[in-house]
């Protein structure tokens, strides 16, 4: 294993992870860039999924509350680090994954909406802050991985 002597302690990593996750959660709460709305069945869907459903005459309705393919179609993905499974429910994601929390889809990134643009700037800043310290994790821990996997991976790095 490669040594990374400048990496913070596990405790510091967890504090950084939780802090950035919370800040991202606040950005999504305040700005709602995905424009989440409740469906009649109680599930949630974002603006992109609603637009896609409308374009398809509502034949395809994505109501799983997640735009991540790994969570929408877990059987299509194989990863050694985690067992892929449906990570979301009608109320949203069941996994505290920083990479997923900081994800902004391509369609939203191309949005002209000023509030969406502002939210994206703030999210991108959080990504930059995290990657300054933990870029190796960002590159190697897959989407859909729970916080526990991030911590295990980090512990291996600092050994």
pLDDT digit string, tens, across residues 22-57: 999 999 889 988 887 777 766 667 777 777 776 666
What proportions of the chain, in percent to the nearest 5, are helix, strand and coil?
Answer: 55, 5, 40
Beta bridge partners, 37, equal: 45
Q: Is 1 inside a domain boundary?
A: no
pTM over 0.85: no
pLDDT at 159: 80
For Cα atoms 76, 81, 87, give the angle at the middle one, nearest 5 degrees: 55
3 part of a folded domain: no
**Sign of torsion, CA 115 117 119 122?**
negative
Token pair 């991976």 in the structure block, residue: 153
Which residues constitute the domain of residue 75? Answer: 10-158
Residue 98 lies in a domain: yes
Give residue 122's pLDDT band: very low, low, confident or very high (50, 70, 90). very high
Q: Would you state the structure tokens that stand for residue 40, as one six-digit string? A: 């009649």
| Separation CA 158–CA 7 (nearest Å) | 7
Q: What whole-number percentage of the chain has pLDDT above 70?
A: 67
Query: Is residue 145 included in any domain, yes or no?
Result: yes
Phi/psi region, residue 114 (left: phi>0; alpha: psi -120 to 50; beta: rest), is alpha
Domain-embedded: residue 59: yes
Q: Which of 49-53, 69-73, 115-119 bottoms out in mean pLDDT, i.e. has the lowest?
A: 69-73
The answer to whether residue 5 sits within a structural domain is no
For the chain, the domain total comes to: 1
Q: What is the pLDDT of residue 63?
A: 46
Q: Are 71 and 86 spatial neighbours (Cβ–Cβ below 8 Å)?
A: yes
What secondary structure letter does DSSP report for 89? E
Is 4 a member of any domain? no
Is residue 107 one of the residues assigned to a domain? yes
């Amino acid at each position: 294993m490669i040594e990374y002597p400048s990496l913070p302690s596990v405790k510091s990593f967890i504090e950084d992870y939780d802090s950035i996750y919370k800040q991202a959660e606040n950005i999504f709460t305040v700005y709602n860039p995905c424009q989440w709305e409740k469906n009649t069945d109680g599930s949630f869907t974002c603006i992109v999924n609603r637009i896609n459903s409308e374009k398809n005459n509502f034949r395809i309705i994505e109501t799983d509350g997640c735009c991540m393919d790994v969570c929408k179609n877990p059987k299509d993905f194989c990863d050694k680090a985690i067992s892929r499974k449906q990570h979301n429910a009608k109320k949203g994601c069941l996994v505290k994954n920083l990479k997923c929390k900081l994800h902004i889809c391509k369609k939203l990134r191309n949005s002209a909406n000023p509030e969406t643009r502002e939210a994206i700037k703030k999210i991108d800043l959080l990504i930059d802050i995290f990657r300054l310290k933990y870029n190796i994790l960002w590159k190697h821990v897959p989407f859909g991985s729970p916080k526990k996997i991030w911590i295990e991976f980090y512990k291996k790095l600092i050994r």
